[in-house]
Structure 1
Amino acid sequence: MERDRLADLRGTYQVRAHQVVAAPSAAFAGLDVLRCFGFDVAEPNPVRRRKIPGGTVKLVFALEGTFEGRALDPTALVIGLHDRAGTAGHAGRMRSVQVQLDPLTARRVLGVPLDELRNGAVELGELHGPTVRRLAERLAETPTWTECFALVADYLRARTAEVEEDRAIAHAVRELRRSNGMRPVGELAAESGWSPRHFRRVFAEQVGLPPKDYSSLLRFSAALTALTRDPLRDMSALAGDFGYYDQSHLIREFRRFAGAPPGRLLNMSYSSNTAPGGAT
């Protein structure tokens, strides 16, 4: 299935797509949740999976697992927007519930400037206090995914604040998504009525990345999706279709966001989604 293939390539789920239990959309009715899922897997040998940024903020409830032979207590993390490739390693059992949020939704849930989370992760408890640990412990004791998803949905409803969106930023985000990151940022800054410097600052605070980095990520994501659908596509044509200066520019952006040029990325990732030693 093409969607699973792309998810495995990206490392969207931290595990393989077929190991994931997806939450039904009805469980999060009224909430702007892009995706919620759970998994319970055991890896007999250490693996290191490629992580390609996808423009979302993630809430990770780690319920049970082992790391370097040590059992982990239930905990919760917030993973901010990334603008570079990475890897994630794991061995042993791992049980988790994860939520992926649009940046503007994440800002309403978390209540902090998202640029403070750029390319990083923090304990959710640092933002929301001891109730987070109690929720993680309760999730660890909950026997079914359906009940787990309901608990997470209740938590999000309780934490989502009525924050007034800056219309200029919401408009800019919509335009960048509509154009796959190809709408000139200078035009959007001018449309906001703000100075370019102020526009960049407010955008980064509310979205998590500066506007040029966010637009570059969207353009890369669109190119990656197109390439996944047609792995034999001519690279020069692909570069032209998505507004890159030339094929070299396209390859540089793939190295930045995926850690590898297009051909090597596809060849390595479809079979195992495991980055070789030293790759990031």
Structure 2
Amino acid sequence: MQHQEFDAPVALQDTIRCFWYHVDDPETFEVMPDGYAEIVFHFGGSCTISYNGTLQPLPSPFMMGLLNQPVVIHTQNRLEILGIRCFPWTVFDLLGLPSEKAGVHMFEHPIAHLQPILQEFITAGKIADAIAYLTQYFTAARSQVAIDSMLSKAGAAMQHAKGAIPVSQVAVAAHVTVRTLERKFKQSSGYSVKDVAGLMRFEQARNELWLHPDTNLAGLAQELGYTDQAHLSKEFKRYTGMTPGAFARRVKKRKMAVSTDFITFQ
């Protein structure tokens, strides 16, 4: 297994968190909700996804937006992935697509024309060149898009607080009313500010339990700004279908680590 992340250049940092490359050959990947949208190119065997109880074939590329439940990706043979981790309040504008509140997006888009060239780089083992090509493409795309500075300020405030921030404070940071903030945020991402902030905060809890499954849950709830442990458990179960305690036990039982066969798409 190999996983690498590449920082986005300054010109893209208001829209893209990072680029990443992953290669592995497990039969399944579990993808849990988090606060990002992902544009994913894949190379190798066939790729399908379990979502809402059905199997769907995944073209390359595909975009995975904000999730409200885990999904499972099934692969055959060795799979290599190039990903672009985007902020959900900018990704639709960047691609020139309407925002939709759905976990998996299948779309026809000029970005699909990158697949053959990226395939050549991947086949030749030129990962850095593939990332450079993606960076060039998205830098050109970003130069054609006017990103709303209000959304950027709102997103920055949410990131700084790791999701533990009320909507009213996000509005103050963005210098707009709550009503204006909610309207524009919903238009740009398909989700409310509260939805995205909740995912950001859940992501912190998930990551902590992944790294340290023996973490005290009451202390974790306090640290992340949940009302109490019961509040943490309720939100955690909302996104994973299990309590944080059950998740921690699963991590320990499988003797997993971040560097094994788990992709977080974060």
C-alpha contact 2:47 2:73 (8 A) present in aligned 1 = no
Number of residue-to-residue matches in the alignment: 244
- Is residue 212 of structure 1 aligned with residue 191 of structure 2? no
Structure 2 counterpart of 1:200, one-letter code: E
Match of 1:81 among 66, 78, 90: 66
What percentage of aligned pairs have identical amino acids? 24
Structure 1 counterpart of 2:41, one-letter code: F
Q: For 1:119 and 1:73, how far apart are their aligned partners in 2?
A: 13
Structure 2 counterpart of 1:79, one-letter code: M
2:53 maps to which residue?
Answer: none
C-alpha contact 2:201 2:224 (8 A) present in aligned 1 = yes
Structure 1 counterpart of 2:20, one-letter code: F
1:233 maps to which residue?
Answer: 215
Structure 2 counterpart of 1:166, one-letter code: D
2:24 maps to which residue?
Answer: 41
Q: Which piece of structure 1 moves more, 173-182 or 187-196?
A: 187-196
Give the superposed CA RMSD: 3.1
- Is residue 247 of structure 1 aligned with residue 216 of structure 2? no
Q: For 2:206 and 2:115, how far apart are their aligned partners in 1?
A: 34
Structure 2 counterpart of 1:164, one-letter code: A
Counterpart secondary structure, 1:103 = coil
Q: For 2:172 and 2:128, how far apart are their aligned partners in 1?
A: 47
1:65 maps to which residue?
Answer: 45
Gaps of 5+ in 2: 49-56
Deviation of the 1:36 alpha carbon: 2.0
C-alpha contact 1:75 1:137 (8 A) present in aligned 2 = no
1:19 maps to which residue?
Answer: 2
Relative to the length of structure 2, the TM-score reads: 0.76
Q: For 1:40 and 1:183, how far apart are their aligned partners in 2?
A: 36
Structure 1 counterpart of 2:17, one-letter code: L
C-alpha contact 2:34 2:203 (8 A) present in aligned 1 = yes
Match of 1:159 among 120, 137, 141: 141
Relative to the length of structure 1, the TM-score reads: 0.73
Gaps of 5+ in 1: 1-17, 276-280
- Is residue 121 of structure 1 aligned with residue 102 of structure 2? no
Match of 1:271 among 252, 255, 264: 255
Structure 1 counterpart of 2:217, one-letter code: M
Q: Quick one: structure 1 residues 263 and 180, their matched pair in 2 at CA, closer, same or farther if it must change by over 3 Å?
A: same
The structure with the largest helix share of the pair is 1
Deviation of the 1:156 alpha carbon: 1.2
Q: For 2:84 and 2:75, how far apart are their aligned partners in 1?
A: 19
C-alpha contact 1:63 1:137 (8 A) present in aligned 2 = no
Match of 1:50 among 27, 30, 33: 30
Deviation of the 1:196 alpha carbon: 4.0
Counterpart secondary structure, 1:92 = coil
